[in-house]
Amino acid sequence: MLHPEPIIDPVINYVVLGFEKKRKGVPWRIALKEFRTVKGELGYFAAMRQSKDPTSFIVLLEDSAALLGVLIALIGTYAREALNEAAFDGVASIGIGMVLAVTAIFLARETEGLLIGESARPALTRSIPRIASEQPGIEHVNELFTVHLSPRQVLAMLNVHFASTLTVGEVEAAVDVIERRIKSALPEVEAVFVKPQSTEMYQRARERKIPDQ
């Protein structure tokens, strides 16, 4: 913007940008069609935020950013020639850089959780305690921890308060039933670990972990 260079032949710019628009437009339409089938009734932004499979929208976002960059470049070139103001070329370059930066930040935030371990979707985290609570002998589900091993594989760990009247053998049998029922109802749950612990012991353990304010 401070030291702009003149555009020798804008027609070349338009030809190159037009070719790039066509080249990026084909995979963009394919990615959009595929993502529409995946997102269901959710909006585009909500579907991206809730998705556990970044590959379903990464291509769409990258191609969308590329097409938006081409559009900004076209507008910058046209404004540069129509208004005879060389600074518009630099403004367009800054705009393209901002589009790429915002896209990169969004993708980084959405994929970070899966790289370091992201919890399961809310519907699944509500279903697991409910299924466990339906088992006779279960008085309370103290805690549930879930983590995605892959987009369609979830590891679940339950902290459960069993009735004190149950024997060790009955607790083991109940744990086996809980694991099988959860896996049957929720196929994406790859493994279930159940830790028997009374609510009182669980609360005391939590209090020891929480520092005094």
In tens, the pLDDT along 176-212 reads 999 999 999 998 898 899 988 888 888 887 777 655 4
Contact call for residues 93 and 70 (beta carbons, < 8 A): no
In tens, the pLDDT along 22-62 reads 888 888 888 888 888 877 777 877 777 777 677 778 888 88
The rounded distance, in Å, linking the Cα atoms of 170 and 166 is: 6
Residue listed under structure tokens 């607790």: 171
Residue listed under structure tokens 């028997």: 196
Per CATH, is 122-209 categorized as 3.40.50.2300?
A: no
Structural domain spans, the chain: 10-116, 122-209
In tens, the pLDDT along 104-163 reads 888 887 776 666 566 777 888 889 999 999 999 898 899 898 887 776 788 899 999 999
Cα dihedral sign, 75-78-82-85:
positive
Helix ranges restricted to H, the chain: 10-39, 44-50, 55-82, 87-116, 122-133, 168-185, 199-209
Q: What is the pLDDT of residue 212?
A: 46
